[in-house]
Amino acid sequence: MEIIEIVGYFGALIIGLVLGLIGGGGSILTVPVLVYLLAINPVLATAYSLFVVGFASLVGAVRNIQKGLVDFKTATVFAIPAFITVYGTRKYLVPALPDHFFTISNFEVTKDVGIMIFFAIIMLLASFSMIKSKKEKTTKEQLAEEQEVKFNYGLILLEGLVVGVITGIVGAGGGFLIIPALVLLAKLPMKKAVATSLLIIAVKSLIGFLGDVQNLSIDWVFLGIFTGLSAVGIFIGIWLNNYIDGKKLKKGFGWFVLIMGIYIIYKEIV
């Protein structure tokens, strides 16, 4: 086993560690680790990422269900359009993408390059949501958030379609899009929005992965080892949460994701 491969498996542990510490966002490192350290094709890497993201989110969702933080009605309304779209994206849209998009001068934009650049753009957007500090809500605002939820089904459908397509193409959870939608469209308090988003991400990611099982040759042994290492990292991160405030690390991780996104764009273009 080469050193870079060992680093790649160690990366799986780090992904879980970050997820356990900050509660989300760490899974966005899965695709870069798989592509650049373990030399896996971007299309297959995004499929594997969906499974890892889905499993990790399910672990977090179970813990939040035990704490009574998950709003099941809201999760169901948001998850249905999202998982239908993500499944359709993985089953039909991604395989239908052409191997060659276009050529500018001597630079050829292939399917793999296009996916990685699009993924890097999503990383940049996610990093901004992590870096941006949120002001504390007043008691009045918190009480207002506890009002009975009235769903805007049109906007929820649109949000589900957008998140489903993005998740399907890049294999990321899309929590930075789902959480604001839960707060704005379903009026959930932030803590419940974060908890509920994990259940939505788990369901749509794992169902999206089913679309890949029918199209791609999955190395189940490798995927099991990689996911297992991530799970170990999650529990280490949860344990470290007793001694380290994960929220304080989130902004620093956001800057790291920003740098990674810029690096991926540079690497793919230059």
Q: What is the pLDDT of residues 130-155, one digit of tens each?
A: 788 665 555 454 555 555 556 677 78
pTM equals 0.84
- What's the mean pLDDT in 117-133? 84
Indicate whether 180 pLDDT > 60: yes
Domain that holds residue 72: 3-269
- What's the mean pLDDT in 111-131? 87
So what's the pLDDT on residue 24? 64
Highest mean pLDDT out of 113-127, 164-178, 182-196? 113-127
Q: Which region among 68-77, 96-105, 166-175 has the lowest average model confidence (pLDDT)? A: 166-175
So what's the pLDDT on residue 229? 92
- What's the mean pLDDT in 161-178? 82
Indicate whether 263 pLDDT > 80: yes
Q: Which candidate, 59, 126, 94, places its Cα nearest to that of 51?
A: 59
- Going 117 to 119 to 121 to 124, the CA torsion angle's sign is negative
Is 78 in contact with 156 (CB distance < 8 Å)? yes
In this structure, the number of other CB atoms found within 10 A of the CB of residue 106 comes to 5
Structure-block tokens of residue 170 = 């890049």
So what's the pLDDT on residue 41? 93
| Mean model confidence pLDDT for the chain | 84
So what's the pLDDT on residue 270? 78
- Going 239 to 244 to 248 to 253, the CA torsion angle's sign is negative
Give the model's confidence band at 5: pLDDT under 50 very low, under 70 low, under 90 confident, else very high: confident
Give how many domains the chain has, as a whole number: 1
Mode of pairing for the β-strands spanning 107-110 and 100-104: antiparallel
11's CB contacts (< 8 A; 6+ apart) are 29, 33, 37
So what's the pLDDT on residue 35? 92
Give the model's confidence band at 228: pLDDT under 50 very low, under 70 low, under 90 confident, else very high: very high
- What's the mean pLDDT in 237-247? 77
Give the number of residues written for the chain. 270
Give the model's confidence band at 83: pLDDT under 50 very low, under 70 low, under 90 confident, else very high: confident
- What's the mean pLDDT in 182-197? 82
Give CA–CA dist 211/208, Å, rounded: 5
So what's the pLDDT on residue 82? 87
| CA distance from start to end of the chain | 29
So what's the pLDDT on residue 48? 94
Residue 15, exposed/middle/buried by CB under 10 A (0-12, 13-18, 19+)? buried
Give CA–CA dist 179/171, Å, rounded: 17
